[in-house]
Amino acid sequence: MEIRLQKFLAQAGVASRRASEELILAGKVAVNGQTVTKLGTKIDPEKDLVTVNKKVIKVEKQKFYIALNKPAGYITSLKDPQGRKKVTDLLKDIQVRIYPVGRLDYETEGLLLLTNDGDFAYNLTHPKHKIKKTYLAQVQGIQSENDLQKLRTGIMLSDGPTATAEVNLLKKGKNTATIKITIHEGRNRQVRRMFEAINHPVLHLKRVRIGNLDLGALKVGEYRFLTPLEVQSLLKMSTNSDKP
């Protein structure tokens, strides 16, 4: 059965579907020895030979779904010219190529999913599915109810206004506060930029929930495999989000 080339690459764990499209457009993918740059190209995985940068690509039959408690000081990219530590360095017992589902910035801790299932990654990260992500943010200064309401209704950032958010003040310190914030967008450094916009910069940020999956008791730097029920539940959430 024929499938789109970018979907095949995602299923093979080469990269997310979006990143696979970029590889195709960059001329790094070949089918049966011929470079392909059209995104609509279809292939038969049983008959066609696909290479990326001249490396033969095959679909892994076994799918992996992993929850990691990401430490600060790790990047979620698979390569880094600066030589910084990568989250995949923490998965020493995993021998297949997997990649992060979405991202957390360098200094942010908490729940990060990794997989070699491109469809799973696509369903959880595509903006139309609006999968909620919850963070605990320790921020500088004490927020007024007016500040919190601004976060709830939307903040104007350099790349446009944010969508509505769920925001709760959990704790006040001497000159800090702990805020729980839930968003469904995935912009770069979004939570940090939202708090910067109301003049209360983030001192520490941790993601504690994706969809209906909690970080739970995972210690910093540790990971575990998701159960089949957890995988199905996350996929069901993304499917239901498409319904009116």
> If you search the block for the tokens 């209906």, which residue do you land on?
212
Among candidate residues 48, 89, 93, 105, the one labeled active-site is 105
Query: Cα–Cα distance between 231 and 187 in angstroms, integer?
Result: 24
Question: Catalytic site residue 89?
Answer: no
Bridge partners of residue 214, in order along the sequence: 209
Token pair recorded at residue 70: 């990401």
- The one-letter code for the residue type at 114 is L
Collect all residues with Cβ–Cβ distance below 8 Å to 153 and sequence separation of at least 6: 164
Element at 203 (helix H, strand E): strand 202-210
Cα–Cα distance measured from residue 110 to residue 6, given in angstroms and rounded to the nearest whole number: 30
Positions marked catalytic: 105
